[in-house]
Amino acid sequence: MAVDAAQQMFVGGNWGPSVSGETLEATSPATGEVVGNVPQGDRDDARAAIAAARAAADGWARLTAFERAAKMNTVGDLIESRRDELARTLTLDQGKPLHAEAYDEVDELVEYWRMAAEDAKRLGGELPNSVSPGKRVMLVRRARGVVGVISPWNWPYTMPAELIAPALASGNAVVWTPAPSTAVCAVALAQCIADADLPPGVFNLVTGPGPVVGDEIARNPGTDGVAFIGSTATGRLVGQAAAGKATLLEMGGNGPLVVMDDANLDAAVEATLTACFLCAGQSCTAGERILVHRAVEDEYLERLRRRVAETIRLGNPFEEQTTMGPLNNEPVAAKMDEHVADALERGARALSGGQRAGGYPTDLYWPATVLAGVPSDSRVAVEETFGPIAPVVAIDSLEQAIELANASPYGLLAAIFTADLNRGLEFADRVRTGWVNINESSNYWEAQLPFGGRAGTDSGIGRVGGAHVMRAFSELQTVVLTPHSPSTSP
């Protein structure tokens, strides 16, 4: 009987159960049905994967960049051939609407592997000058060795791929542990990577609880670098456990979307829909708070309320007309409950939504919620809600918008709508975020560009995005060559 890879981990080139044999029952947020039983890995499983990666790392690093790039393209080919299966798995396991979002994520996933293949071919060193005549100096890029990857559940394909693909392409072996609530998606992606026939141990998947498997991967001396995408609280723990290693931490955000009094309101409203309701608001770049100039607040709110009613369709994520599915898990739904209740108690008004939707297969369906009159110190305005909500806070000036933006402990991304380019650039100059969009949604970004939090904030360190990950997980080796003079002996 063939091994069912959907019920296994992938370690050292082989599919298998956890050491303990324990499994975790995975249920769909969309339907409530059981969609799989994934292995409940522990520290022994993580150690075995790290040992396998350690044994494979040198041989993989010695391959040429072009050989590794060919494998990355093979992974991309396999993903393309399984597009329907991967998209449906994503909808069932994560809750994203199939036609509105799931297929798009799979298509973007292919691009991550293609991009890593091309970036690997261009990852070169330098030939700096030497102070000594005749000497030649080479700065050569070397893979760090074994990279541990800890990934979130909101984009369970593309978030890990933006770390795994460049780490592999630049010559590292990888040990990956995904968020347990989308582990079925992780196994589906791992099957594509495994079927590309990388050398055994170069890529490993260990499913299990983050505080156990993720902690072991972060702190084990067998990993040379650690990449994490997820919440600020967990990211801090990962950073502490991985102290002394190369780390890349992309963490939470509460970046504002600012609408000034001269803004194109139609454009601002359309951008708000993307900012607040893409992935049901479960995004670190979501419009977690909307700062609207008081002069245009009423008109903006009316247009937003109308467009939400016209365009956002909460429902069965497999149906073509659905634009927004359920939240992924109960803790994030409970946080929506708490944040909305807090804002309403403080005087905010719900123009749409405001409580969980009934009549669905699970209790995780939250309608698109627009809140007006939100106090700037309410929980929904200062914390990361991670749900389908547009909390509108009135402001009186650009100065106030900047003050509110910088008062937040987060510093990931901010956006502003204004017709005045000087105003937009002043905002970018003064706001403490790693990325600023001017006249664009907070959820706009490009995969090849550097993305991450500003120093001194709770949004992480380092930059994801294309070759920037390769530079984080490779290092320069300095080679000084002194040519010998030709022998003069007879």
Active site residues: 250, 284
Beta bridge partners of 416: 258, 438
Q: What angle do CA 200, 204, 205 make, to 5 degrees?
A: 145
Looking at residue 6, the DSSP 8-state letter turns out to be G
Beta strands in 54-135 (DSSP E): none
The strand order across the sheet containing 435-438 reads: 349-352, 369-372, 389-395, 289-293, 256-259, 413-417, 435-438
Distance in angstroms (rounded) separating the CA atoms of residues 279 and 332:
13
Q: Which two tokens stand for residue 57?
A: 């790392």
Q: Are 367 and 352 in contact (CB under 8 A)?
A: yes
Q: What angle do CA 133, 139, 144 make, to 5 degrees?
A: 155
Distance in angstroms (rounded) separating the CA atoms of residues 284 and 301:
23
Neighbours of 356 (CB within 10 A): 18
What is the torsional sign of CA 448, 449, 451, 456? positive
Say which residues have a Cβ less than 8 Å from residue 166's Cβ, sequence separation at least 6: 116, 119, 120, 466, 467, 469, 470, 473
Q: What is the DSSP string of 371-429?
A: EES--TTSHHHHS---SSEEEEEEES-HHHHHHHHHHSS--SEEEEE-S-HHHHHHHHH
Distance in angstroms (rounded) separating the CA atoms of residues 213 and 209:
6
Count of alpha carbons within 13 angstroms of residue 462, beta-carbon side: 25
Q: How far apart are the first and last CA of the chain?
A: 74
Residue with tokens 């330098």: 126
SS (H, E, C) 455-468: CCCCCEECCECCHH
> Helix (H, G, I), strand (E, B), or coil: what is residue 488?
coil
Q: How far is CA 354 from the centre of its chain?
A: 27
Looking at residue 315, the DSSP 8-state letter turns out to be S
Distance in angstroms (rounded) separating the CA atoms of residues 82 and 291:
42
